[in-house]
Chains A and B, each alone.
Chain A
C-alpha cells in the first residue's frame, strides 16, 4: 500500500534515537500518521516542523499499519512564524487543534482547505486570532458540530445576532435571549461577516465561543481537554488585552 499527496505536518513525537512519528493532514487521506525514519536527524528535522506543507509519500504493507512517511518540502511555514510570539502561538494552536480533533484517515477537504488558506498567513505574520476562530468554525462544521449562526433560534431574525446558546450552538439576538442572557456566549460580528476584521476583544470572544464547542464536542467526546497550545494562545490574548487596558 502506498500513496502520495501534499500534506501539512500537524504533530511530531520522537521515536527511538533519530526517528519521528509524524501526524500529517492531507485532503485525500485526512489525518494520517507515519514513521519518518531519520526524521529527527540534523538533515531532516527542518522538514518535519509543524505547519510545513510537504509532498508526502506513505508506504505500508497493510493499510491499517502505521507505515513509513517520507517527504519533500513544498512550503516552509514554521520558520516564518518562529520570530513572532503571536504567530508561533497561532501555529502551535491550530496544528494542535487539528491534530486532536480530526479523526484518523477520514478525509475532511473543507478543513484542509481552510488550514491551507490560514498557514501562509501565519507564516507571513498577518494572521490574527480571529483567523484561528474562523478556522475552528469550519472545523466544527466539518466534524458535524456546526454552529447555526444564520438566524435567531427564537425569533428567526437574521440581523442583530449577538449571542450563542452554549447548549444548542444556535445564535440569538440580545432581545430574544431575555433572562438567559448571562448564560449565553458572545457572538462577535466578524464570525458572521468575512469582511469584518474584528479587534482583539472580538477575537478573544470568538476563541471563547469556538473553544467551548471544541472542548465539549470535538475533544469532549474523546474525553480529552483542549490542547495546551490552544489554551496558552487564549491566555496570551487575554494577557495582551489586559496589558493594553
Chain B
C-alpha cells in the first residue's frame, strides 16, 4: 500500500485517498472554438506515462482536499507531493 504524504494532514495510507488521474490538464478557455478532435484530446487523451508521472489525488476520508503527486508508475515510488497552486517539481517557474 502506498503511504501518501497529504500536504495538509501528513502521511496517511492510500485507502484514505482517491486518485484523480493525470494532473495539469487545463480546460480549454473557449471550448466552442475547438474542433471535435481538439475537444476529444482534452477530454479523453492521456499521457499514461510509463515512469515519472504527475497525478491528482484527493484526501477523501481526511481533509477532502486535492493536491498533486509526482510518482513513478513502474516503481510506484512517490518523489514529491505539492499543493495545486504550486509548480510541478522540476518545471520552470
A joins B in a complex: no
